[in-house]
Amino acid sequence: MSNKFHMHKSRLEALVDGVFAIAMTILVLEVKVPNIEDKQSASALWHAIAHDGVVIAAYFFSFAMLGQFWVWHHRLTAKIREIDLPLLVCSLCFLALVCFFPFAAALFGRYITNLTAHFIYLPLMGLILATQAIFFWLAMRRDLILDSVSPIQALAAHRNNLFGCAIFMFAFAPTGYRLHGGITIVCILGGAYLLWHVIKLKKMQNQLETASSTKN
């Protein structure tokens, strides 16, 4: 009998659903009901709401990002047979970042022109992307992909993960420049390195597709 740790993926999915439900709900708590002196003044109320327009916009943007992360996670998990210890640790790191996201979103909404708020909110999104990419990469390396998922499908998912990380690094480069030019260089080089891997994976995927077509 094997003593290796393993967990049915449904237990992880239940935890992920619960964490995301709470995090997405907490986001709206930063959107406060405005307080105005003249309770009957429609213009004053609209002005107060417009004053918090950035906070409201940040809420909807952050909600959409969390929703995308949630869908992405379930799409990846659907391709995995079971969860072992490294995948569980990676998932817990991912969820820890998700739990921190409402704080970062509130900071970003309240201080959108503050560089420090940017350097908390944006890298946090990058780390969430990275943990998801590592999660699926570990599943591939540890042979935990479902038999029903072809190597072509697995490579395509891994390629999409890396492509998302590459796009984020390129997009973050201008913000990094506001703090230090070295951060921009690291982002550009890192994005280029990931993009190179994406191209390699695409070639591998094409070779597998060609081989599969030849056999058929």
pLDDT at 1: 41
pLDDT at 29: 87
Residues 6+ apart with CB under 8 A from 47: none
Q: Which of the pair, 132 or 31, is modelled with greater confidence? A: 132
Q: Residue 98 class from Cβ within 10 Å (0-12 exposed, 13-18 middle, 19+ buried)?
A: buried
pLDDT at 204: 85
Most confident of 25-34, 95-104, 168-177, 192-201: 95-104
Across the range 159-185, mean pLDDT stands at 88
Across the range 12-39, mean pLDDT stands at 87
pLDDT at 7: 81
Banded pLDDT at 5 (limits 50, 70, 90): confident
Name the pTM for this structure.
0.86
Q: Is the pLDDT at 113 greater than 50, yes or no?
A: yes
Banded pLDDT at 177 (limits 50, 70, 90): confident
- pLDDT tens-digit series, residues 125-138: 999 999 999 999 99
- Percent of the chain residues topping a pLDDT of 70: 98
pLDDT at 140: 93
pLDDT at 216: 59
- pLDDT tens-digit series, residues 79-105: 999 999 999 999 999 999 999 999 999
pLDDT at 31: 80
